[in-house]
Structure 1
Amino acid sequence: MSTQAAATASVSWRDYYELCKPNVVLLMLLTSVIGMFMAVPGMVPLRVLILGNLGIALCAASAAAVNHLVDRRIDLIMARTKNRPIATGRLPTRNAALFAGVLGVAGMAVLLIYINALTAWLTLASLLGYAVVYTLFLKRATPQNIVIGGIAGAAPPLLGWTAVTGEIHGHALLLVLIIFVWTPPHFWALAIHRRDDYAKVDIPMLPVTHGIGYTKLHTLLYTLLLFVVTLLPFATGMSGPLYLLGAVCLGAGFIYWAIVLIRGQNPKAPMATFKYSIVYLMALFIVMLLDHYLYPAVTVFEVRQ
């Protein structure tokens, strides 16, 4: 049996599952679902809730698979990614490319047929933004890669909103802004921890090109900016006092870890900050959703009136 045939024979469904970056997709779906609920004062139609998020998830998984394909050579060198299925050869590139294509086409079909064209095209733009603009170009071109490319990963709450309403609203863009500003401090904390890996593969992440101290400072500055941005839903009447309390407490925790990071006395601070940032985003959006229904006087429906 040839090497390629042997590799193909040993492919597991878990390899395809890993190709989809399920943890990342689930976090995106959480923000998409909450974008849907924030768009209406009551219940999201079940068909939109299920099929809308299915289409978004399929497209996000397709983009993740393309990322595995494009980065397969550098993945093999980096400690964090060296066991990925394409990098190790467990999953042939042809299979992965076909899988990514099927997922993307299926996701677009679901959105076009069952949801609406606006959501479908915005989702496609997000897919191409991550899989092509960020992965193929920005990631290797500039230390601001994660800042510029972050807009693609920030789109899910907007996609959820448009899936329900069929229109782009300022409040939906505010949700996008929160994730957009959250992305740099979230990812830079990980990049500090993995600086040597990125240096080995010549990826110009900020800690590689400008140093760890510079990156820590900008992580703190973006965290402070994020704190201000997360107050805007309350300031605009989109959310109420429960959200404000949650945003302040969660933001204070993020600032705390950014300060611990910049002081440099805790060697575990980069990964602790990275892990906190994930919990932070999940908790912030969950509190926003709870506030939306506990304080129904402050709703998008009433704002439109």
Structure 2
Amino acid sequence: MSETTGWRDYLALTKPGVVLLLMVTAIAGMFLATDPPGMVPLRTLVPAFLGLTLAMMASAAINQIMDQKIDAVMARTEKRPIVTGRLNTRKAVTFAVVLAVLSMLILDQMVNRLTALLTLFGFVGYAFIYTLYLKRATPQNIVIGGLAGAIPPLLGWTAVSGEMHPYAWLLVLIIFVWTPPHFWALAIHRRDDYAKAEIPMLPVTHGIPFTRTSVLYYTILLLLTSLLPYLTGMSGLIYLVAAVVLGVIFMLHAIKLRFGNDPRTPMKTFGYSITYLFVLFAALLVDHYVPVGVLGSV
């Protein structure tokens, strides 16, 4: 039954929790692009932050518009504003288009064209290619479509530097490898939901044991991948210690998921994966700004 549309419904349409996590990585990319380490100029920081945030909000809104029939049959998403009728499709589309247009104008006119074009690539990749095709077509949807969701640190980096530096691509690679174990842990918990909605997520098509094993393999790969910033000279000892500790803990969660039977483990693993990404990127920033001499004098 339709209800009065409020600002909370528009906010829910943009998946603020997801946008927050993505923007943390984008902001990290901005500050990591400073060489030598310093403050990102406000004339770049403010429009880049605003433009990228609006683009991610628009992408999330398009995702909910496209997925409303799927959302209606899944317990996790059945209370989303379009599904419940609190927000009609026409208003949602108008809102998403306004956000997308504003984001492109801000990024193109106030940041740089490269960032605007890369943001457009990510927007189309997630909102349309992943949502409309990959999600419904293959159990490897998260792996193939993961690139679109992994580029925020590259966007942040190019917003400041105007170039696609190899170090920025390392950050993209980390998130790209992080995405499957993060999402598959949730998919294990919500396996029946996805089966009901006829979405070919890995636990539905290949079974839960296979998915548990895949999560473990990817956490091992993630641990190795997360060492690359240190091995390439991008970061130092602070980051290395954080990456190893965080990666080992993630791997222990995955081992428990693979060999244990506790029904709470998938969501615990999913929850930790979010903490992992927050703290890993925080460690990158701390390492970037703490002078090398400080460690030597401890």
TM-score interval, normalised by the smaller of the two chains: over 0.9
1:95 equivalent in structure 2: 91
The aligned residue for residue 29 of structure 1 is: 23
Question: Which amino acid counterpart does residue 28 of structure 1 have in structure 2?
Answer: L
Q: Distance in 2 between matches of 1:66 and 1:229?
A: 31
| 1:21 counterpart letter in structure 2 | K
Structure 1 residue 199: Cα displacement? 0.2
**Aligned match for 1:128, one of 124, 128, 133:** 124
Q: Matches of 2:101 and 2:24 in 1, distance apart?
A: 22
Post-superposition CA distance 1:76-99 (Å, at most 9, x none): 110000000001111010000000
Shift of 1:175: 0.3
Are residue 66 (structure 1) and residue 62 (structure 2) matched?
A: yes
The two structures have a TM-score, normalised by structure 1, of 0.94
Q: What corresponds to 1:15 in structure 2?
A: 9
Partner residue in 1 for 2:113:
117
Q: Which residue of 2 aligns with 1:39?
A: 33
What's 2:235 paired with?
239
Q: In structure 2, what is the equivalent of residue 148 of structure 1?
A: 144
Deviation at 1:197?
A: 0.3
Please, which runs of 5 or more residues in structure 1 have no aligned partner?
298-305
Q: Which residue of 1 aligns with 2:296?
A: none
User: CA RMSD of the aligned region, Å?
Assistant: 1.0
1:204 aligns with 2:200: yes
Match of 1:295 in 2: 291
Q: Helix, strand or coil: the match of 1:79? A: coil
Q: 1:286 aligns with which of 282, 285, 293?
A: 282
Deviation of the 1:49 alpha carbon: 1.2
Mapped to 2, the partners of 1:64 and 1:245 lie a distance apart of 34
**Separation (CA, whole Å) in 2 of partners of 1:47 and 1:259:** 46
Structure 1 CA distance, aligned partners of 2:268 and 2:46?
34
What displacement does 1:264 show? 2.7
Q: 1:166 and 1:230, CA in 2 relative to 1: closer, same or farther beyond 3 A?
A: same
Query: What residue identity is the alignment partner of 2:271?
Result: K
Q: In structure 1, what residue type is equivalent to 2:215?
A: T
State which of 262, 266, 273 in structure 2 corresponds to 1:277. Answer: 273
- Give SS of 2:234's match: coil
Once residues 260 and 266 of structure 2 are traced to their aligned partners in structure 1, the CA distance between those partners, rounded to angstroms, is: 9
Q: State the Cα distance separating 1:263 from its structure 2 match.
A: 1.0
Q: Which residue of 2 aligns with 1:261?
A: 257
Matched residue, 2:153: 157
In structure 2, the residue matched to 1:76 is 72
What is the alpha-carbon distance in structure 1 between the residues aligned to residue 132 and residue 85 of structure 2?
21
Counterpart CA distance in 2 for 1:39 and 1:21 is: 27
The separation in 2 between residues aligned to 1:237 and 1:161, in whole angstroms, is 17
How many residue pairs align between the two structures?
291
State the percentage of identical aligned residues. 60
Shift of residue 296, structure 1, vs aligned partner: 5.2
1:265 CA displacement: 2.3
Deviation >3 Å, runs of 4+ = none
Q: Shift in Å at residue 295 of structure 1? A: 3.4
Counterpart position of 2:173: 177
Per the alignment, do residues 56 and 296 of structure 1 end up closer, same or farther by CA in structure 2, a change over 3 Å counting? Answer: farther
Q: Deviations over 1:163-182 (max 9, x none)?
A: 00100010000000000000
Residues in 2 aligned to 1:220 and 1:196: alpha-carbon distance in whole angstroms: 21
For the 8 Å contact 1:240–1:295, the answer to whether it is kept is no
Give distance in 1, aligned partners of 2:214 and 2:52.
Answer: 32
Q: Are 2:234 and 1:222 equivalent residues in the alignment?
A: no
Task: Quote the residue 1:301 is aligned against.
Answer: none
Match of 1:300 in 2: none
Question: Matched residues in 1 for 2:261 and 2:101: separation?
Answer: 49
Distance 2:245 2:260 in 1: 23
- Separation in 2, partners of 1:39, 1:62: 26
